[in-house]
């Protein structure tokens, strides 16, 4: 899928997400106007899920990555994401916890085992976290020796502070870089959308079961009262 096609698809997904959120909220408002206990009891949950979808869209709307010539994966920049995401990731306590997880995961150190040559490495489909945390930004211009080692004797061509923060040490890498935080933001954005979609589907199924059961119980009660 080309970059233009990918952008087109993302825009449509975003548009449909907004329509879904507005539709759910309108449905909740409509249910609140009925005196039927079955419907009114679902008003707050429906409004809540609609507001949650809309909030999730607002928080995860920005940021889609930047294509780099010669690489099959994208790079991510922290400024592209919502201020809420940036604030959470810039929180020292939050980031130190995440950083310790990255060091323990060994994902970056495993890259040379997965990609034996530089050609394989450049053609690899790195995840947002691998692209942002395991390597320096391409703008730095550091020549890659292998999938986990860069020639840092080369004078960086960019003033990006990440160029100074990156080290080849397995415990340092680019774990303190803004590019790493941006990779995490992209990962969170993707995961949250998957969770949001799952929750919507689950909510619809449970609401339908509840509504049908409630109405069946009400009809059964009416039937018994009519026989009395």
Per-residue pLDDT band at 132 (split at 50, 70, 90)? very high
Per-residue pLDDT band at 151 (split at 50, 70, 90)? very high
pLDDT-wise least confident of 31-35, 81-85, 110-114, 118-122: 31-35
More confident residue, 205 or 56: 205
Are the beta carbons of 173 and 134 closer than 8 angstroms? Answer: yes
Q: Is the pLDDT of residue 141 over 70?
A: yes
Phi, psi dihedrals of residue 139, rounded to the nearest 5°? -60, -25
More confident residue, 104 or 161: 161
More confident residue, 188 or 169: 169
Per-residue pLDDT band at 228 (split at 50, 70, 90)? low
Q: Tell me which DSSP letter residue 66 carries.
A: E
Q: What is the share, in percent, of the chain residues with pLDDT greater than 90?
A: 29
> What pLDDT does 72 receive?
85
> What pLDDT does 173 receive?
96
- The pLDDT tens digits of the residues spanning 53-107 come to 666 675 555 556 788 888 888 899 988 888 888 888 999 998 998 898 888 888 8
More confident residue, 10 or 216: 216
- The pLDDT tens digits of the residues spanning 1-54 come to 444 444 455 556 566 666 666 666 666 666 566 555 555 555 666 666 666 666
> What pLDDT does 187 receive?
85
Helix axes 43-60, 3-32, angle to 10 degrees: 160
> What pLDDT does 213 receive?
67
Per-residue pLDDT band at 155 (split at 50, 70, 90)? confident
Strands (DSSP E) found in 68-217:
74-75, 144-146, 149-150
More confident residue, 197 or 94: 94
Question: What's the mean pLDDT in 151-160?
Answer: 90
Spatial separation of the C-alpha atoms in residues 22 and 49, rounded to whole Å: 11
Spatial separation of the C-alpha atoms in residues 76 and 53, rounded to whole Å: 24
Per-residue pLDDT band at 199 (split at 50, 70, 90)? low
Spatial separation of the C-alpha atoms in residues 78 and 166, rounded to whole Å: 16
């Amino acid at each position: 899928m080309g970059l233009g096609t990918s952008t087109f698809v993302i825009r449509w997904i975003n548009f449909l997400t907004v329509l879904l959120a507005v539709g759910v909220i309108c449905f909740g408002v409509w249910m609140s106007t009925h005196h039927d206990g079955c419907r009114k009891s679902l008003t707050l949950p429906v409004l809540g899920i609609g507001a949650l979808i809309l909030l999730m869209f607002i928080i995860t709307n920005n940021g889609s990555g930047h294509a780099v010539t010669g690489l099959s994966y994208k790079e991510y920049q922290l400024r592209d994401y919502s201020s809420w995401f940036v604030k959470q990731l810039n929180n020292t306590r939050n980031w130190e916890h995440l950083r310790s997880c990255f060091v323990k995961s060994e994902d970056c150190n495993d890259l040379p085992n997965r990609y034996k040559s530089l050609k394989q490495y450049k053609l690899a489909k790195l995840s947002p976290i691998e692209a942002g945390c395991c390597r320096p930004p391409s703008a730095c211009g550091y020549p890659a020796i292998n999938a986990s080692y860069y020639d840092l004797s080369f004078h960086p061509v960019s003033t990006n502070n990440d160029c100074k923060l990156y080290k080849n040490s397995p415990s340092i890498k680019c774990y303190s870089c803004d590019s790493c935080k941006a990779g995490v933001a992209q990962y969170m954005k993707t995961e949250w959308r998957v969770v949001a979609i799952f929750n919507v589907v689950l909510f619809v199924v449970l609401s339908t079961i509840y509504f049908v059961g409630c109405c069946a119980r009400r009809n059964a009660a009416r039937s018994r009262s009519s026989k009395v």
